[in-house]
Amino acid sequence: MQTVKKGLTRRKLVQGLASVSAVSAAPVLIGKDRLQMEGLVGDIRAANAEADAQQAVEAVLREALARPGRVLEAMGEPRQVGLSPIFHAEDLTILNIVWPPWMMLPAHNHLMWATIGIYTGREDNIIWQRRGGGGVEAAGAASLSAGDVFSLPHDAIHSVTNPIPRLTAAIHVYGGDFFAAERSEWDPETLSEHPQDFEAVQELFRRTQRRFQAVPPA
């Protein structure tokens, strides 16, 4: 599997994916079972052409994740944390995201709809809403386990935590060019808004993984 490498900024990543930025592009990354993953990517791309693209994509993921073990077998046991592109185009991005144990990603937006399917592990989401002064306040929560599918509208703000002592992995589908969006992030202490630093997010994955690996087994 290809992974997003250290020092790879959003700009460099987009440049590196230039050959697959067209709608007709082939997947960048395919799991262990190439045929099965190509089929899933094809189904998601077809669903994205429907009038209600997100609803159609959600239906595809729900069918695939009805047996999460099959997706895990097709993708392979997660070992490398971070964001790995599966497919990237102007109107659709599919990522395989592997969260290190106990990682918390602060509140952020996507500026496009997102649908998430967990195939191993656990993921806790807090849903935030804007309040006066540029901050946010908690408005809901979703606890996801293997087999669960969760959708967020284009204007959603959420934070993510992997609450278990092992890797969590999920297929994330975005209704647009994930790497071109200039997203916002909210400080976890002050809840003030600022531009999201993509490289800082990548370093957070790596730092959390190093911290987990440094903890001796109980």
Please indicate, yes or no, whether the overall pTM of this predicted structure exceeds 0.95: no
Locate all alpha helices (DSSP H) within 17-154, ordered by sequence: 34-48, 53-65, 68-75
Residue 37's pLDDT is 83
Residue 199's pLDDT is 87
Angle between helical axes of 34-48 and 68-75 (0-180°, round to 10):
120
- Do the Cβ atoms of 162 and 168 come closer than 8 Å? yes
φ, ψ for residue 143, nearest 5 deg: -105, 120
Which helix (H) or strand (E) is 209 found in, with range? helix 198-214
Residue 107's pLDDT is 96
Distance CA 184, CA 181 (A): 9
Residue 32's pLDDT is 66
**Local mean pLDDT, 10-residue blocks, the chain (218 residues):** 37 37 40 76 96 98 95 90 93 96 95 98 97 89 97 97 95 96 94 91 88 68
Residue 34's pLDDT is 66
Residue 7's pLDDT is 36
Superfamily of domain 10-214: Jelly Rolls (2.60.120.10)
Residue 3's pLDDT is 35
What is the sign, positive or negative, of the torsion defined by CA atoms of 193, 199, 204, 207?
negative
Residue 18's pLDDT is 34
Residue 180's pLDDT is 93
